[in-house]
Structure 1
Amino acid sequence: MAWSTRGSRGGASCRAIAGLTLVMAGCEANPNDDPAGTGAQTGRIVVASHEEIGLRFGLSDRMAYLGLADSLATTPKTPSPFRFTDILEGSGVDFVHVSGTTADRYFPTAFGSGVAMVDYDGDGRLDLYFATCTFLPLGTAEAGPNKLYKNLGGGMFEDVTAEAGLDFRGFCHGIIAGDVDNDGDQDLFLCNVGPNALFLNEGDGTFRDVSRDAGIDAPAWSMGGVMLDYDGDGDLDLFVANYGDYEFLRTPRPCGSDRIPIYCQPGGVPTARHMLYRNDGEGTFTDVTDEAGLGRDDGRGFGAVAADLNGDVLVDLYVVNDLRPNFLFLNRGDGTFEDATETSGAGLDATGGPQASMGVDAEDCDGDGLPELLASNFQYEYTALYRNLTDSTSATADRGGVPPAGFHDSSAEVGLVDDSRPYVGWGCALADFDNDGWPDCFVANGHIDSNRNELSPVLSYLQPPMLHRNVPVGDSGAIAPGVGRRFQLATLGVGPYFASRHAGRGAAFGDLDDDGDIDIVVNHRDGAPAILRNDTPGNHAWIRLELVGDRSNRDAIGARVEVEAGGRTITRQRKSGSSMCSSNDPRLLVGLGSVEEVARLRIRWPSGTVSTLEQLATNTTYEVFEPDNEEGEVAAVAMP
């Protein structure tokens, strides 16, 4: 069956299937459906009301006829090698998210919030900072605050929100973590409905709100973003993804009926301009969005990932938008970006249309050294994987060239389409959960309307997460460069959390218990979170790298790492952003499979300096320091 996707909201989907013209609610027209401008509507979406679709025509029967009901998700036939245990109960984490939703259905209340894994006090353990929302209009009622939990070890946490000065009360969607003042600790930027906020880490377990002095507190509707050194001056700048016009959200806009209010379609939300703030190095930031070439005002942003996407050792930006093309901005190396959205193949899906993207990540999934792009999307669309086909050899030696980036929507080929189509995807990751050296795929799912079962019993607000294992084509067991890869649904036997349904939203990924594998924390809309400890059995080796920049930004965001072990080279990057509204473990944990030693480690720092280390032990954490000049020797310290 041939099919194409368009975004959907409120229990109705926008989709043309097998040449049918479907009448769906609130969808944006796609000019590619009528390239000749004839007005013909073959396979095209026509706007109708939610009332007409969901209630009058009987959504249950219609969805059953189309074969798109929630219950049609593929069930894996063999048990998964993954094992995860939710350790929330008894952990000391008592956070409960508040969406702020009411019958007025203010649009931001549908989206939920994220979570950050951040070592706020420098004791070597990852702590947890959860974001929450409040009620709209702002100031009418108060919820929250955001909560910070200190990692005590052994799966135990302590609420230290008040003493740390992070008891922020507002409508907080996203958290960006990074060292903006290069003093060796992690600062926090909060993406809000209303003024955004920047908290500087004082280095003594407390934070100071510097939002107004920093110049980043203009009212906005911000979802997520990244910290990156876009201009190569050695400090971290801020890119903020904005969802829509701030004034628009001041008015209640319920759809559906008085009996069954639901959220309206995002197509009616005026688009927004994302923001790039240059770090001036003295505690202030300057809006340089337009002069940097990022001034598009046609996005509905959820977040971004900052990484080198075309192999020229400059950090680029991939921005995911809701029912708008996803933006790809390539760094020119002169303080500006080239907009490659329309030419790269990463802006639209396989049918030439935009999806409703929420989550994002970038990682090398096929072993060719170039990162693929991942975008989680709305129900009846699919989790999209864009394979990186870029030829990085066209970059000039002086870093002045901008190699064209080329991506191909390979979602169907790698096996993600059918499994993900029934669900609404949010926080996501391409991460190696079994340390075999190949990134797997996780997506947190959950619908936006908690009452959607009133439209039809086959529609579910709570949805199971998706976990796919990266395996060779044919599952032959071969693990070698050049072998085709695909994703295999791997939720059977993973643990009770994966066998149940949730209102998943933001998710963060990292090694909470420092045992050498990647754990998952999910912030649930209007509920308690999940803290998923990775208990996957096996003896696969790993190496962990804590990169410390000198000539580069101290967090070394933008660094490229090549690990040679067991006859293959594994490429990873110190990226920023990823997932949805969340911040991940800043340390690089590289799974190695069945090897006993790392033959060679090569680091290309953002400054351009290249460092090489040889014969490193596995199952060991190394703190690696960038030399202060191009000829200097790299220092690496094995951590206890």
Structure 2
Amino acid sequence: MRSTIGAAVAIGVCVLRAGAGDLLFVDATVESGLSTLHSPSDALGFSSLGVMCAGGAVADFDRDGDQDVFVLLGGKLPDRLFLNNGDGTFVDRADEWGVAVQHMGLAVAVGDYDGDGWLDLFVTSCGPHGAVPGPSQHRLYHNTGAGFVEVAHAAGVNQSTSLTCDGTGAAFGDYDLDGDLDLFVAGWFYQSQGNRLFRNNGDGTFTDVTAASFPSLATVRGFSPRFIDMNGDRYPELLLAADFGTSRYFVNQGDGTFADATAASGTGLDGNGMGQCVADFDGDGRPDWYVTSVFGNKNPTTPGTGNMLYLNQGEHAYAEVSEAAGVKEGFWGWGTSAADLDLDGDLDLLETNGWAFTAGYSDTPARVWLNDGAAVFTDVAASCGLWHTALGRALFTFDADGDGDSDVVILSFKDELRFYRNDMVHGDDTSWLGVRLDVSAAPHLAPTGSEAM
């Protein structure tokens, strides 16, 4: 649910705006070649996991300098890998790359876990299409540069719980600063085992170190994990958006363990944490934390806290400002992303939402909140052309066509993928910076891409 630099990829970063035009998105799904349909297996049906997940990832998998799109289709159809032609059009190469698999996929994480300079894929799964959903089915796709090879069992990450199918989210991050990427897998359905930390052994295998690294996770209904350094000590914290009031803010102690600082930090106030993103929304140089949740304004029988925006005050202290910022009411929130959509130098917010089983939430529109520079936001979804009312689950922002602005992909439950191209007219003085990261001399530096449940 974030935009980051992929290995050898050019990205657009706005550094100045003067005379830019109005924000305008165009549904370019068909012409881009990204048309596909989320088709979950009947074995999952309308179970909790079946209706909550429609995952994917955006990253430069073939290292040609542009962003590709990987999509989980849920089982009835094989997963898709759309490689970017460099101009914002895509071709499905899933068969050639070895990922056209029919399985009950849920969530995705992207990272170069073996340090060879190629971005790999971790996919949580409930098993092959047509089988009974079960544990021990996760997939780890090792990127060889010419395709993917599935190695989860050999690597020790095929199972995050031995009791049932689970795996609503995942994230790579180097929590122990030893130079390789570790893996956290979130679990919602069977929370006593579902949230697991796997330490990278540096040889292509992982060890489950959950019990030694965390206080109890037994009550946490995990959805969306994120490794990121929130206080500048280089050690990444683990931020975990979780359901039913169980979101957690874990501070990295630097010795391989994490301390639960949720209450002390002023976070964890969301009632139904689902999606999250981290960005400096108020321009003070510190990363802030945004968590999507349920807001009960569409149905009085569904109470909800709404989304939470935690502005970083330093030293692991936060001020919750969602109402004042104008981003509390996001309906039944799911995936989210931060990006400078209008190229004015600050980070805006997008959120997708929807829930078919509670009256009032089945056709709510996605949110497009523009930042005024001081973390006060205005929803412009209706006027900018990004009017999306499907049951959204995952959302990505990335520069698909190399023109310097952020385009948007939204994945929805039992619905078509949608690609919204940013066609804003750039002013003569609008500037953006392209960055290409060459990791050939130090392949272990190849970073993660964008991923989501």
Same fold, TM-score > 0.5, yes or no:
yes
When residues 103 and 514 of structure 1 are mapped into structure 2, their CA distance, relative to the original with a 3 A threshold, is closer
Preserved contact between residue 111 and residue 121 of structure 2 (Cα < 8 Å): yes
Q: After the TM superposition, which residues 228-247 of structure 1 pair with which residues of structure 2 at under 5 Å, given as runs?
A: 228-245=173-190
With normalisation by structure 2, the TM-score equals 0.85
Number of residue-to-residue matches in the alignment: 409
TM-score normalised by length of structure 1: 0.61
After superposition, the C-alpha distances for 1:542-592 in whole angstroms (9 at most, x for unaligned) are 2233446677941356xxxxxxxxxxxxxxxxxx767x42xxxxxxxxxxx
Q: Aligned residue for 1:415?
A: 326
Out of 88, 104, 129, the position equivalent to 1:155 is 88
Q: Deviations over 1:341-370 (max 9, x none)?
A: 221111124xxxxx1111101111111111
Equivalent residue for 1:91, pick from 20, 28, 32: 32
Q: CA deviation at 1:102?
A: 8.2
**Where in structure 2 are the equivalents of 1:176-325 lying within 5 Å?**
176-193=109-126, 194=135, 195-204=137-146, 206-218=147-159, 219=161, 220-245=165-190, 272-293=193-214, 295-325=216-246
Q: Is 1:131 the equivalent of 2:47?
A: no
Give the alignment partner of residue 384 of structure 1, picking from 285, 301, 308: 308
Contact 2:49 2:168 in 1 (8 A): no
Aligned-pair CA distance for 1:242: 1.0
Matched residue SS, 1:361: strand
Q: Deviations over 1:62-98 (max 9, x none)?
A: xxxxxxxxxxxxxxxxxx9321111111332332101
C-alpha distance in 2 between matches for 1:429 and 1:376: 10
CA contact under 8 A between 1:547 and 1:556: conserved in structure 2? Answer: no
Match for 2:394 among 494, 502, 506? 506
Distance 1:231 1:92 in 2: 40
Give 1:537 deviation, angstroms.
2.5
Secondary structure class of the residue paired with 2:325 = coil
- State yes or no: 1:545 paired with 2:435: yes
Q: Is the 8 A contact 2:337 2:349 kept in 1?
A: yes
1:535 alignment counterpart: 423
Kindly provide the CA deviation profile for residues 87-130 of structure 1, in whole angstroms up to 9, marking residues without a partner as x: 11133233210134689732211113122112221111211110
- Cα offset for 1:293? 2.1
What's the counterpart of residue 555 of structure 1? 446
| Larger Rg over CA atoms | 1
Residue pair 1:469, 1:489 contacting (<8 A) in 2 also = yes
Aligned counterpart, 2:381: 491
Whether contact under 8 Å (2:409, 2:417) holds in the other structure is yes
Unaligned runs of 5+ in 2: 1-20, 127-134, 297-303
| Contact 1:272 1:298 survives alignment (8 Å) | no
Q: Is the 8 A contact 2:87 2:402 kept in 1?
A: no
1:170-203 deviation per Cα after TM superposition (whole angstroms, max 9, x unaligned): 2111111111111111100002234211000011
- 1:315-354 equivalence runs, <5 A: 315-349=236-270
Q: C-alpha deviations, 1:445-469, integer Å up to 9, x for none?
A: 11142xx56xxxxx24122110111
2-side partners of 1:99 and 1:221: how far apart? 15
1: distance between equivalents of 2:151 and 2:35? Answer: 28
Alpha-carbon spacing, 1:371–1:103, altered in 2? closer, same or farther (3 Å): closer
Counterparts of 2:444 and 2:62, CA distance in 1: 20
State the 1:443 CA deviation. Answer: 0.2
Distance 1:487 1:284, change over 3 A: same
Query: Residues 276 and 546 of structure 1: is their aligned pair in 2 closer, same or farther, counting only changes over 3 Å?
Result: farther
CA RMSD of aligned residues (A): 2.3
Shift of the alpha carbon at 1:243? Answer: 1.1
Deviations 1:240-263 (A, max 9, x none): 111121xxxxxxxxxxxxxxxxxx
Matches within 5 A, 1:604-619: none
1:447 matched to 2:355: yes
Q: Report % sequence identity.
A: 31
- CA-to-partner distance for each residue in 1:499-530, whole Å, 9 max, x for gaps? x5211111122111111111111111111111
Residue 317 of structure 1 aligns to a residue whose secondary structure is strand
Q: 1:369 aligns with which of 282, 285, 288?
A: 285
Deviations 1:137-194 (A, max 9, x none): xxxxxx1211111212333221211111002222111111111111111100002234
Q: Distance in 1 between matches of 2:37 and 2:213?
A: 39
Q: Which residue of 1 aligns with 2:14?
A: none
Deviations along 1:465-491, one digit per CA (max 9) or x if unpaired, are: 10111115xxxxxxxxxxx43111122
Q: Deviations over 1:25-49 (max 9, x none)?
A: xxxxxxxxxxxxxxxxxxxxxxxxx
Query: SS of 2:323's equivalent?
Result: coil
SS in 1 for 2:66: coil
Distance 2:228 2:77 in 1: 33
What residue identity is the alignment partner of 1:298? T
- Name the stretch that deviates more: 547-556 or 147-156: 547-556
Gaps of 5+ in 1: 1-79, 135-142, 246-269, 350-354, 392-404, 454-458, 473-483, 558-575, 582-640
Structure 2: distance between partners of 1:426 and 1:101? 23
Given that residues 180 and 235 in structure 1 are in contact (C-alpha distance below 8 angstroms), is that contact kept between their aligned partners in structure 2?
yes
1:70 corresponding residue in structure 2: none
Match for residue 369 of structure 2? 468
Q: Indicate if the aligned counterparts of 2:250 and 2:260 stay in contact, CA closer than 8 A.
A: yes
Give the whole-Å Cα distance in 1 for the aligned partners of 2:313 and 2:437: 28
Identify if the C-alpha distance between structure 1 residues 295 and 544 changes in structure 2 by more than 3 Å, giving closer, same or farther. farther
Aligned to 1:431: 339
* Partner SS, residue 212 of structure 1: helix
Contact 1:434/1:536, CA 8 A, preserved across alignment: yes
Is contact 1:372–1:386 with CA below 8 Å preserved after alignment? yes
1:465 corresponds to which letter in structure 2? A
Q: Which whole-Å CA distance do the structure 1 matches of 2:424 and 2:235 have between them? A: 35
Say if 2:34 and 2:419, in contact at 8 Å, map to a contact too.
no
Distance in structure 1 (CA, Å) of the matches to 2:443 and 2:97:
29
- The one-letter amino acid paired with 2:207 is T
Residue type of the partner of 1:554?
Answer: L
| 1:465–1:446 distance in 2 versus 1, CA, 3 Å | same
2:55 touches 2:394 (CA, 8 Å); kept in 1?
yes
Q: Which residue number corresponds to residue 22 of structure 2?
A: 81
Picking from 267, 270, 273, the partner of 1:357 is 273
**Larger RCO (CA within 8 A; separation ≥ 6):** 2
- Measured in 2, the distance between the counterparts of 1:430 and 1:358 equals 16
Secondary structure at 2:30 match in 1: coil
SS in 2 for 1:105: coil
